[in-house]
Amino acid sequence: MDNRITTFLVLNNVLRAFYETPLSNVRVVMFDQKPYKGIGKVNGLSFSINKGYPIRPSLTNIFKEISNEIRSFNIPLHGDLTKWCNASIFDKEINTSKNIILKAPHPSSFSANKGFFSCNHFTIINNLLDTLIDWNL
């Protein structure tokens, strides 16, 4: 490791999703463009941030979209998505010939209104699965 580079992810959280969810149980994959900045904030899961830190705008927008789609969803007061990982929502490489790919703009403040909001991905996901995902944290 180059001593001139500051990393924000604690090493034991690298590839954390692989430890939280066995590959055979993966049902949903979520990707993020880049990790959040700030020592102690990130926890190795896409869009997730440790409890005790402000929820980032991208995750706030994800919560808003789920709330608009799924009436039983309660917007949480934290951004730790570990429960989603335990519900088999995961990020890994996807075989596009065997999986359905849902695409939307990034949920950031800059692009959420360009197609992320009202994409209905969380409803579509639940409609595709045999067992509904409880998106509540």
Name the least confident of 6-10, 32-36, 87-91.
Answer: 6-10
Residue 30 domain-assigned (yes or no):
yes
Contact 117, 105 (CB under 8 A): no
Nearest by Cα to 89 from 129, 37, 38, 49: 129
Residue 5 lies in a domain: no
pLDDT tens by residue, 47-68? 888 899 899 888 999 999 999 9
% the chain with pLDDT above 90: 27
Is the per-residue pLDDT at 72 higher than 90? yes
Tell me if 118 is assigned to some domain: yes
Residue 134: inside a domain, yes or no?
Answer: no
Q: What is the CATH number of the domain that holds 77?
A: 3.40.470.10
| pLDDT recorded at residue 1 | 47
Domain range enclosing 103:
11-128
In a domain, 76, yes or no: yes
User: Residue 34 pLDDT more than 80?
Assistant: no
Does the residue 4 lie in any domain?
A: no
pTM greater than 0.75 (yes/no): no
Does residue 86 have a pLDDT over 50?
yes
> How many whole angstroms separate alpha carbon 66 and alpha carbon 88?
17
Q: Is residue 137 part of a domain?
A: no
Q: How many domains does the chain have?
A: 1
**Cα 4 from Cα 1, distance rounded (Å):** 9
Assigned domain for 44 exists: yes
pLDDT for res 98: 78
